[in-house]
Amino acid sequence: MAAPAALPDAEWSECLLPAGPVPREMAREVRRAVGALPGWVPRLAPSPWIVRAFRDTIQRPAAYLPRTFFDLGAVVVSQDNSCRYCYGAQRAVMKVLGYRDEYLDRLVRDFHVVDLPPGERAGLDYLRRLSRADPRPGRAESEAVVQAGLDRRAVTEIAAVAAFCTFNNRVATLLALPPDPIESLVRGPLFRFIRPLMARRMRPRARPPEPPPQPNDGPLAALVTALGDSPAASVVRRMIEGAWNSPVLPRRTRALLLAVVARALGCAYSEGEARRLLAAEGLEGSHVDEILTHLGSAQLDRREARLVPFARETVRYQPAAIQRRVRETCDAMSREETLETIGTVALANALCRMSVVLDAPRAAG
């Protein structure tokens, strides 16, 4: 996906789902975490685990990365992924934090020319390579970031940042979320007066390391373990458990979507996990082979037959084209099923990109 020159003008369809009521406790939790009720909450509310994932990831769950890296990385990756919603919202957040438009323009055109330490520049390059996954970077690329000056544990967290951006970008793009109100706010006449107060609420705060999540015996446990004591580990565990335990889509369907994305991205670990989960659901290995080779099989039910080829298209796409495909694929589905489908393929893309941490040398504690 080539980085667009003028992302706000990129083709973007009407939002797939209308805004709806937000449970009181959900609204309270989001406000407590981020200080406001963002525009995505009323549209994602029917899938609580997706709301929690957005809430957790925008709180910058990283202990070893420089405080500014999460925001810089989010704007670079969102622009590179052509996510109109995330790019606009994140750029507005950066303006609240005091970044000037000229700096942000230079950052998204070429972050190598902005004033950053060598380790952070190398980290942004690695982050973008992870997001593109064309191909997925390997141990040599992660080691180059360490040699440029970042702690090995910070490099592990970059993989988590790539996963979080991948998840949020895909949910926002596939649903065609409309621009967030914060974009209008930062262009308004009162912004210069209220910006200092907003900045105090939104400025990145140091996050200490956390004990690894326990229990960690569900799907993709080794991937969560590889994140060590980063706060990202608990976020990833909650995302996986939220998706896996949601009753809206069958577990077999979710595992099939993970397998398809894993095969497309060459992620042997995630494909192996998906095969293990599918075996537990009664699907034989030869049938999985057929599905992954042909993106179809008589073993698939009617809904799976539509979702399997669609999952493959979510690995790399152009926004307008994938938004049309979402409408075609989810035309007969309920609002809840549509959200869960989009959340599941977004999570599969995120996890398969993050799994590079399994190949990297382990950092000393």
Going by pLDDT thresholds of 50, 70 and 90, the confidence category of residue 3 is very low
* pLDDT higher than threshold 60 for residue 79: yes
Going by pLDDT thresholds of 50, 70 and 90, the confidence category of residue 142 is very high
Q: What is the CATH number of the domain that holds 270?
A: 1.20.1290.10
* Peptide bond just before 215 cis, omega within 30 deg: yes
Angle between helix axes 231-245 and 335-354 (nearest 10 degrees) is 140
Name which residue leads in pLDDT, 107 or 161: 161
Domain final residue, candidates 148, 177, 208:
208
Give the structural domain span for 338.
223-358
Q: Are residues 267 and 188 in the same domain?
A: no
**The total number of structural domains that make up the chain:** 2
Specify the DSSP class assigned to residue 10.
S
Domain final residue, candidates 149, 183, 208:
208
Q: Is residue 108 part of a domain?
A: yes
Domain final residue, candidates 208, 238, 263:
208
Q: Is residue 218 part of a domain?
A: no
Going by pLDDT thresholds of 50, 70 and 90, the confidence category of residue 5 is very low
pLDDT recorded at residue 359: 83
d(Cα 278, Cα 252) in Å, to the nearest integer?
6
Which residues 6+ apart lie within 8 Å of 173 measured at CB? 81, 82, 83, 84, 85, 86, 317, 319, 322, 323
Q: Are residues 324 and 246 in the same domain?
A: yes
The string of DSSP codes covering 167-208 is HHHHHHHHHTPPPPHHHHHHHSTTHHHHHHHHHHHHS-----
Task: Give tens-digit pLDDT for 241-277.
Answer: 999 999 999 999 999 999 999 999 999 999 999 999 9
Q: Is residue 241 part of a domain?
A: yes
Nearest 5°: the CA angle 309, 346, 324 is 55
d(Cα 165, Cα 15) in Å, to the nearest integer?
20
Q: Are residues 184 and 236 in the same domain?
A: no
pLDDT > 90: percent of the chain: 87
